[in-house]
Structure 1
Amino acid sequence: MEGFVQFAQNTVKAVSEIISFPISVSNEKGYILGDTDPTRFGTLHKPSIEVINANEVILFTAEKASRMENVLPGVAVPLNFDGRPVGVLGIIGDPIEVESYAHLVKKYVEMMWQETLHLQVENLESMTLESFVQYILLNRSVNQEQLNHYCKLLHIKANCNRICITIDIGDSFLKNVQNKHHTIAPNRFKKALLDCVVRAFDNDPQNVCAFLNTERIVFLKYVNGEDGYFQFMEEFRNRSLHLLEMFQVYNIHNAIVASGNIASSIEDMDQSYRESDSIINYGNKLDLTPKILTYYDWDILLEMLPNHIDAKMGRMLVQRLRPLLHNEAYPVLKRDFLTYCINNMNVSKAAKELFIHRNTLIYRLKKIDIITGLDTGRFDHCTLLCFALKEDGNVSQQSDYKN
């Protein structure tokens, strides 16, 4: 069985810490692959073959052992895996004394074996999922045959609606595993974080959850059409908050959770991922706590919209707003105007928030009207100016370039 040599040696080390008797582990062909006495490693132990064939405990008295080659007094018990004997555990000593340990140690070793195999399978599945998400999310085009192979291997449908949720944890994973006080093995730590994501966002068998790299986890969430999408997005913030709370336990405090839009197939998931990546990059510029970002959030869309004014429109805005941008009072006028917009164009509320007299604010708004030719009493004019001023860094750069 693959990995038996390493398992046999680990078994000898683990069991030796529990009982004081020397032990050995042989494979189904009778060769010793682990022994308290390293000189016996690799030697043939013929009675092990007898134990395998009989699939039962055999005692070896001192008299019986003396007549056999490479045999010591003690007890030999078969190690079973998947219902058949695949190895032999030998406990060396007075058979009467060590026999009482035989069945207990046998169960312990078989449980160790099952756990070892389980971890190997888990790690293999984790590596397969990571390769899969890297393949579909980081490539603009994918091979259909390869994609179908992955879907079949992972038992997921290629053509159903999903959204990509990206959780950015920065360097938290690396810092945690490099911390000398960190007691969880890296693979176990990864699994713990993935379990948190699944608990927060749902464990539907059509979901896919994996590390994209050490800084990002992706969760490809299955949704049942647009109605399912809208229902899930209504719950998205609360689910994300729950995830961030669970992450606190693992010393992860500054994670960002973002979702892309709905995609109709696995093949199109790269677009949903790029959307989540884009909103993360934009969200890093915002003073938001916690950072839970989605295009479903109107406030986020309003923040992002000015950033998507195209170059042609940008040049026209620069031309019309240059007198305002170059006015010495611009910083104050900008602050007061945006506060006026935030307060729903209510002069009294805005003035109170700015700690200035109502007439002072009216005077400054009139000044903006005169400089720009806009009417700050009109909602549509305020909307246009508000978008432009929120991106005044870009507008100013274009203005400087034109000059």
Structure 2
Amino acid sequence: MEWITKELAQEIVTRTMDIIPYNINVMNEHGVIIGSGEHDRVDHIHDGAMLVIQKQETLIIHHKQAKKLKGVKPGINLPILFQDKMVGVVGITGIPAEVKNYGKLVKMTAEMLLQQAFLLESMQWKERVKEEVMNELLNNASVPHSAIVDRANMIGIDLSIRRVAVIIQLTIKETNQDHHKLRKSIVASLQSVLTEADLLSDFSFPTLVLLKRIHLKEQSWNRSFTLTELTHLQTMLNQHKDITYKIAMGHDSAVVSESFQRAKQTLQTGCALFPEKSLYDYFDMSLPVLLSQLPSKSELQSFFSLLVAQDENGELQETLTSFIEQNGELNRVADSLFIHRNTLRYRLDKIKKLTGKDPKHTKELFELYISMLLYRIQP
């Protein structure tokens, strides 16, 4: 395994030469110079480094010794250790008496940068595995196969935990040009209010996908608790003035991909019916979501279409909507529309005349409601 890449070696050289006024060389575990302030020395064997590797200890090279060794100048060469293993050598070129005091500083710098690079690579690898696991969960219509379960276990993801799919669709205002910085800021904000069992993916940014751990109450999904958690996400998103957003939650399902599909359908339907809202829940919208899956231009849609065609100022549509929202209670409907009850009765009769459906009859009101939903979902 190559512990120190040429890119990392040159970074070690650059960082340390910013601190001390001497040339720095970095050699790999084979004694080859892979980073140096003297670029013509790169890719050459350094015999001094070979001796350090053989003896596993620091080597001071004086002028006379340097003449006898290949690719070597006077100075000091020190082993680079990582996880108690020697993975390379760092050398300082110069008169030994002058440079030896810098040895520990240069060695510490090299090992610190190696540790940082390793941690970054580990984080990136973990993110790649998480993306692979989430992609499998979101797109596979069956229980994840053993290989995915094993990979999830490798990075500490317990797939036995029940989760619900949540889609967070962001719209970035044109004034913000640095999408990468905004992406990191938003993800960091959301992660601050999520638990370790929650899985957040930003691979389709500006759309985020969250697999939210659900809490149980008497063995059933405590949906109200999850909704409260989503309001916390809204609070965090509201702090970002460069975006607007829509959040849609699917249903509790043993198969994550089914919950994800419901979340997508809920988002699409919610935006069509309630564009003023920012949070949509499949549980509250299951009927319109299911209707949205019907073939377009359903016959049921024709009732409301007839009404729209003869309702130039939209007052009949407004009246029907209020009548449904107020459960047909005439006084409350009239109050919400600021009209007299007689005016309300006139409008309801007109709706019946235009559509052939009487809003005051429960079955026919339901048909009108379905027709209205279909019209708005499938205009």
Q: How does 1:22-171 map to 2 (within 5 A)?
A: 22-140=23-141, 144-169=145-170
Please give the alpha-carbon distance, in whole angstroms, between the structure 2 residues aligned to 1:384 and 1:260: 26
Please give the alpha-carbon distance, in whole angstroms, between the structure 2 residues aligned to 1:23 and 1:157: 46
Residues 163-220 of structure 1 deviation map (CA, whole Å, 9 limit, x = unaligned)? 2222233578xx76567xx5x9xxxx55x6545444333213xx43333433433232
Please give the alpha-carbon distance, in whole angstroms, between the structure 2 residues aligned to 1:213 and 1:30: 44
Structure 1 match to 2:209: 218
Shift of residue 281, structure 1, vs aligned partner = 1.7
Shift of residue 274, structure 1, vs aligned partner = 0.8
Please give the alpha-carbon distance, in whole angstroms, between the structure 2 residues aligned to 1:308 and 1:357: 39
Equivalent pair of 2:305/2:375 in contact (CA under 8 Å): no
Please give the alpha-carbon distance, in whole angstroms, between the structure 1 residues aligned to 2:355 and 2:311: 14
Structure 2 match to 1:261: 251
Equivalent pair of 1:133/1:212 in contact (CA under 8 Å): no
Q: Secondary structure at the match of 2:221?
A: helix
- Alignment of 1:336 onto 2:327: no
Q: How does 1:281-296 map to 2 (within 5 A)?
A: 281-288=268-275, 291-296=278-283
125 and 40 in structure 1: CA distance in 2 versus 1, 3 angstrom threshold: same
Structure 2 match to 1:367: 350
Shift of residue 221, structure 1, vs aligned partner = 3.1
Shift of residue 377, structure 1, vs aligned partner = 3.9
290 and 152 in structure 1: CA distance in 2 versus 1, 3 angstrom threshold: same
Q: Secondary structure at the match of 1:201?
A: coil
81 and 194 in structure 1: CA distance in 2 versus 1, 3 angstrom threshold: same
Please give the alpha-carbon distance, in whole angstroms, between the structure 2 residues aligned to 1:31 and 1:196: 45
Equivalent pair of 1:223/1:229 in contact (CA under 8 Å): no
Structure 2 match to 1:401: none
Q: Secondary structure at the match of 2:10?
A: helix
Please give the alpha-carbon distance, in whole angstroms, between the structure 2 residues aligned to 1:303 and 1:141: 26
Shift of residue 140, structure 1, vs aligned partner = 4.0
Equivalent pair of 2:247/2:280 in contact (CA under 8 Å): yes
365 and 307 in structure 1: CA distance in 2 versus 1, 3 angstrom threshold: same
Shift of residue 111, structure 1, vs aligned partner = 1.1
- Alignment of 1:199 onto 2:198: no
> What is the one-letter code of the residue matched to 2:212?
K
- Alignment of 1:280 onto 2:270: no
Structure 2 match to 1:400: none
- Alignment of 1:385 onto 2:357: no
State the TM-score, normalized to the length of structure 2: 0.82
Percent same amino acid at aligned positions? 23
State the TM-score, normalized to the length of structure 1: 0.78
Equivalent pair of 2:9/2:26 in contact (CA under 8 Å): yes
48 and 328 in structure 1: CA distance in 2 versus 1, 3 angstrom threshold: closer
Shift of residue 110, structure 1, vs aligned partner = 0.8
> What is the one-letter code of the residue matched to 1:365?
L
Residue number among 288, 296, 299 corresponding to 1:315 in the alignment: 299
Residues 305-337 of structure 1 deviation map (CA, whole Å, 9 limit, x = unaligned)? 66467889x53674x778656546794322223
Q: Secondary structure at the match of 2:60?
A: strand
> What is the one-letter code of the residue matched to 2:207?
R
Please give the alpha-carbon distance, in whole angstroms, between the structure 1 residues aligned to 2:320 and 2:110: 74
Q: CA RMSD in A?
A: 3.6
Please give the alpha-carbon distance, in whole angstroms, between the structure 2 residues aligned to 1:327 and 1:128: 57
Shift of residue 350, structure 1, vs aligned partner = 3.2
Total equivalences in the alignment: 376
Please give the alpha-carbon distance, in whole angstroms, between the structure 2 residues aligned to 1:114 and 1:283: 48
141 and 93 in structure 1: CA distance in 2 versus 1, 3 angstrom threshold: same
Shift of residue 229, structure 1, vs aligned partner = 5.8
90 and 343 in structure 1: CA distance in 2 versus 1, 3 angstrom threshold: same
Q: Secondary structure at the match of 2:243?
A: coil
Residue number among 216, 219, 224 corresponding to 1:234 in the alignment: 224
Shift of residue 91, structure 1, vs aligned partner = 1.5
236 and 203 in structure 1: CA distance in 2 versus 1, 3 angstrom threshold: same
